[in-house]
């Protein structure tokens, strides 16, 4: 082999080595740019952790508020159920009170033979009305009061002189309220202008 060929062979590996070195340096620079440093990774992880903590704190606050709302709603429902548990039962007893009052009205107060029956019905009615009062079932008997459509049901209107219009002149059937809630409106006759 001639000296010239040897020099060419020796020159080629050096060229490749320089090219390889340049490629390696470029690859290393790219990897440094593509891969974040440990500090950058740590900063990103801290930021993500802060976001997750904030989201969890907000979710916890919402969950606690929801629990309080459910608790309040349940307490309100229980109080409501206790307060109005007797509504249907009381409504069924209203006809008993009405019938006792009708029975008293039908008995002649002057008849001595019916005096015992009258007293018995009066005591029974009084006992029933006392039981109503113990459970906040109140009677609505609006005679001579202004007509109130929230508490009264006008069955008819009658022209009456010397009485203000829309005044209850007769109570056909008493109304009742349980703890302030209307169970049955008073059925009434209302005056109108003559």
Measured at the CA of 111, the angle between CA 109 and CA 113, to 5 degrees, comes to: 125
| Contact (CB, 8 A) for 122 and 150 | no
- Distance from C-alpha of 37 to C-alpha of 100, rounded to nearest angstrom: 94
The per-residue pLDDT string of the chain (194 residues; one tens digit each, 9 = 90 and over) reads: 555 555 555 545 454 566 677 766 666 656 555 677 888 888 898 999 999 999 999 999 999 999 999 999 999 988 888 777 788 888 889 999 999 999 998 888 788 888 889 999 999 999 999 999 998 999 999 999 999 999 999 999 999 888 889 999 999 999 999 988 999 999 999 998 87
Question: The pTM is what?
Answer: 0.58
Please give the order of strands across the beta sheet that includes 186-192: 152-159, 186-192, 168-173
């Amino acid at each position: 082999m001639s000296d010239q060929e040897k020099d060419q062979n020796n020159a080629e590996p050096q060229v490749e080595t320089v090219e390889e070195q340049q490629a390696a340096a470029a690859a290393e620079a790219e990897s440094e740019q593509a891969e974040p440093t440990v500090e950058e990774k740590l900063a990103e992880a801290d930021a993500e952790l802060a976001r997750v903590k904030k989201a969890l704190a907000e979710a916890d606050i919402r969950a606690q508020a929801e629990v309080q709302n459910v608790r309040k709603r349940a307490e309100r429902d229980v109080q409501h159920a206790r307060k109005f548990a007797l509504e249907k039962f009381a409504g069924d007893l209203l006809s008993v009170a009405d019938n006792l009052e009708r029975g008293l009205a039908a008995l002649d107060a002057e008849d001595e033979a019916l005096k015992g029956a009258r007293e018995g019905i009066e005591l029974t009615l009084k006992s029933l009305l006392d039981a109503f009062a113990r459970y906040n079932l109140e009677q609505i008997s609006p005679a001579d009061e202004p007509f109130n459509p929230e508490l009264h049901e006008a069955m008819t209107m009658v022209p009456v002189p010397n009485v203000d219009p829309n005044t209850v002149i007769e109570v056909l059937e008493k109304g009742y309220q349980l703890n302030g809630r209307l169970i049955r409106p008073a059925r009434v006759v209302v005056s109108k202008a003559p």
